[in-house]
Amino acid sequence: MIRNQWYVVLESRELRGRPLGAIRFGERLVFWRDAEGRARCHLDRCAHRGASLASGKLVEGGRIQCPFHGLEYDASGKCVVIPANGRSAPVPENFRLVSYPVHEAQGFIWVYWAADPAATMAVPPPPPRFFDDIGPEFFYATVVDPWDNHYSRVIENQLDQAHLPFVHHNTIGRGNRTVVDGPGIMKVDEGFFVYVYNRKDDGSPRRTSEEVPVPDPNRDYKLEFLFPNLWQNYISPSVRVVGAFVPVSEEKTLLYLRFYESFMRLPVLRSLVLALASRFNLVVAHQDRRVVNTQLPKGEGIGAGELLFSGDRPIMEYRKMRIAAKKRAASPEAENKV
């Protein structure tokens, strides 16, 4: 997992009127909403004696209260009340939670997993991007699916075109299109597009990435990846599938899988379309999960012990982005420059 990045970590609907504890990046975090309804995130560890705030409560004044000794923290993570000292007693400055910047949009909650949280909270980074072509005309439904491997392994699976006729032979991989022409890659800020040209093996040589159309004006279908953990399957102008690959630990990932549509106008039928499409997406995801959960080594896949072929170019591009991001995060000047 790479520091100094905005990661989608939750859906907005999961965070309501009480504190929410969650493991993300291998850390125990607590999320809550302040008096203005803004999402907040801290390490879930009271500055006093390390108790979890997730089992605490929200109190008057838009503060979160520790369930152990009643310490109250404001939206910035600063302790403002130690009941044992008296409510009017000053609180030492070091009674403070480790806090991370939060961004909320499109029904998602992002956290900036900073190497220097205090400095980043003082000067927050620019907000993260979402997919420019998903507007308010779209409706969506989400399923959340646990996977037993590193989030980078799950992302790479969604960038892998060669597995389709084998893993998904009876769903999205029907047709025995085993030859991977390209894939075409078009780099953009913070990510890249993948243009897919799988076909049946007729004995002709496969086309290289340089020989396929990029972009292709004759087709809508393409994939888009936004670093570090958002992916879009652009099926048509009115149908999309979006995945957020949420890092839980080195060997655990939550896949937030959304189906978007803008073609159905009747609310009752729309709900049916969303429900059926979400169920199908989960069937397809479980076909992938069965295999990805077996990949070794568990944890981040960085290519050790693997032999890639030309059709794996999207995975290669993703790994290049990870390497560059790690270098930035490791440099002393990296904070707030991503």
pLDDT in tens, 145-196: 999 999 999 999 999 999 999 999 999 999 999 999 999 999 998 999 999 9
pLDDT tens-digit series, residues 222-240: 999 999 999 999 999 999 9
Delimiting residues of CATH 3.90.380.10 domain(s) in the chain: 139-327
Write out the residue limits of the CATH 2.102.10.10 domain(s) in the chain. 6-122
Single-letter code of the amino acid located at 284:
V
For residues 153 and 289, give the distance between their C-alpha atoms in angstroms, rounded to a whole number.
Answer: 10
Nearest C-alpha neighbor of 153 from the set 278, 279, 304: 304
List CB contacts of 44: < 8 A, sequence separation 6 or more: 21, 28, 29, 30, 52, 53, 54
- Rounded distance between C-alpha atoms, residue 100 and residue 118, angstroms: 8
- Label the pairing between strands 63-65 and 72-73: antiparallel
Q: Under a CB-based contact definition with an 8 Å cutoff, are residues 240 and 211 in contact?
A: no
Contact 245, 301 (CB under 8 A): no
pLDDT for 287 beyond 60: yes
- Which residue has tokens 């000047």? 333
**Gap between the Cα atoms of 234 and 213, Å rounded:** 17
Residue-level pLDDT at 301:
65
What is the band of 332 on the pLDDT scale with cuts at 50, 70, 90? low
Distance CA 210, CA 208 (A): 5
Residue 256: name the closest of 285, 290, 225 by CA.
285
Q: Give every strand in the sheet of 139-147, ordered side by side.
A: 139-147, 252-261, 239-249, 230-236, 222-226, 191-199, 179-188
Q: Which residues on neighbouring strands pair with residue 194, listed in sequence order?
A: 185, 223
User: What would the CATH number be for the domain defined by 139-327?
Assistant: 3.90.380.10
Inform me whether the pLDDT recorded for 91 exceeds 60.
yes
In tens, the pLDDT along 28-59 reads: 999 999 999 999 999 999 999 999 999 999 99
The pLDDT of residue 338: 38
Q: Please check whether the domain covering 6-122 is classified as CATH 2.102.10.10.
A: yes
Q: Are 49 and 72 in contact (CB under 8 A)?
A: no
How large is the average pLDDT for residues 119-141? 96
Question: Which pLDDT does position 298 carry in this prediction?
Answer: 82
Higher pLDDT, 216 or 286: 286
pLDDT of residue 218: 87
CA distance 299 to 278: 28
SS3 165: helix
Burial class (CB in 10 A: 0-12, 13-18, 19+), 91: middle
Mean pLDDT of the chain: 95
What pLDDT does 337 receive?
A: 42
- Three-state SS for 74? coil
What confidence score (pLDDT) does residue 302 get?
A: 67
